[in-house]
Amino acid sequence: MIKVMIVEDDPMVAALNRQFVGRMEGFEVIGAAENAQQAIAILAESDIDLVLLDIHMPGLTGIEFLQMLREQQQDLDVILITAASEIQQIQHALRLGASDYLIKPFEFSRFQEALLQYQKHFHKLNDNKQISQQEIDSLLGRKQPATSTSATVQSLPKGLTKGTLQTIQQVILANEAAVFSTDELAQSAHISRVSVRKYLKFLSAIGYLQEDLTYGVGRPIYQYRVAPENAHRLDPYL
């Protein structure tokens, strides 16, 4: 479980961030602070992995707080969530090691993307004692050579294509609902239900999706949700 602290002086924004985190599997909000002083107190009492940090706060700014964390060599990561979009502040935050930078207002899909990407890095780096160059390149977003891409395409089951797989993944990540059905995904992706079903079976087989069978009125319905801890399992096929 990734332990999260929200540092945000606007109660409504803090509540929204908490709600968004609550929709993500594998994350838990440990505490919320309205300023750097309260955040320091929470850090003194709790183990925190990830800080969702605003920039404009009373007292220390988010950038100053991040600088302090780095000077103290605090072992945690930071995602900036703020209305500030000045390029100098963004550059400063990135140089201080911010994992991502979200500019308000943002959609849940962008928030989800940031946390899923962080989660992939978190588990990759914490679950392995050693890591290969290929895995490092993947974490840093570097593209693999063309020969490697060809190999991953060939590794897909017969009848599946990389292009359609990428489209389906993008629709899944953009979907604000945590759970979705075959029909819902087919409608959003503008792909036939039969084709979508093949890809969902594949994504479930590799553990990228969790498949549940629900019973209601009429026929049983398969419902799916992303398994964030297994998000990296799709990388070799893209």
Q: What is the pLDDT of residues 105-159, one digit of tens each?
A: 888 988 998 998 888 878 655 545 555 555 555 555 544 444 444 433 447 888 8
Residue 217 scores a pLDDT above 70: no
Q: Pull the structure tokens for residue 208.
A: 């990228």
Q: Which residues does 14 contact at the CB level (< 8 Å), separation at least 6?
A: 6, 8, 32, 34
C-alpha span between 80 and 83 (Å, rounded): 10
- HSE-up of 38 (CA within 13 Å, CB side)? 15
Identical fold for domains 2-126 and 144-237, yes or no, is no
For residue 105, say if its preceding peptide bond is cis, omega within 30 degrees of 0.
Answer: yes
Residue 185 has pLDDT above 70, yes or no: yes
- The three-class DSSP label of residue 145 is coil
Q: Can you tell me the distance from the alpha carbon of 61 to that of 55, in angstroms, rounded to the nearest whole number?
A: 5
Measured in whole angstroms, the distance separating CA 22 from the mean position of its chain's CA atoms is 13
**What pLDDT sits at residue 28?**
95
Per-residue pLDDT tens digits for 65-104? 999 998 988 888 999 988 867 788 888 888 888 889 998 8
pLDDT band with cut points at 50, 70 and 90 for residue 43? very high
Q: Which CATH number fits domain 144-237: 1.10.10.10, 3.40.50.300, 1.10.730.10, 1.10.645.10?
A: 1.10.10.10
Distance CA 29, CA 33 (A): 11
Q: Residue 162: which H helix or E strand, with range?
A: helix 162-174
Q: What's the chain's length in residues?
A: 238
Buried/exposed 127-166: b ≥16 CB within 10 Å, e otherwise? eeeeeeeeeeebbeeeebeeeeeeeeeeebeeebebebbe
Pick among 3.60.150.10, 3.90.1150.10, 3.30.70.1140, 3.40.50.2300: CATH of 2-126: 3.40.50.2300
Selection from 37, 39, 43 nearest residue 74 by Cα: 43
In angstroms, rounded to a whole number, what is the distance separating the alpha carbons of residues 206 and 208? 6
0.75 cut: is pTM over it? Answer: no
Determine how β-strand 221-226 pairs with β-strand 209-214. Answer: antiparallel
Where along the chain do its domains lie? 2-126, 144-237
List the strands of the sheet with 180-181, edge to edge. Answer: 180-181, 221-226, 209-214
Q: Rounded to the nearest 5 degrees, what angle is found at the Cα of 27, between the Cα atoms of 213 and 18?
A: 105
* pLDDT tens for each residue of 159-184: 888 889 988 988 888 876 678 889 98
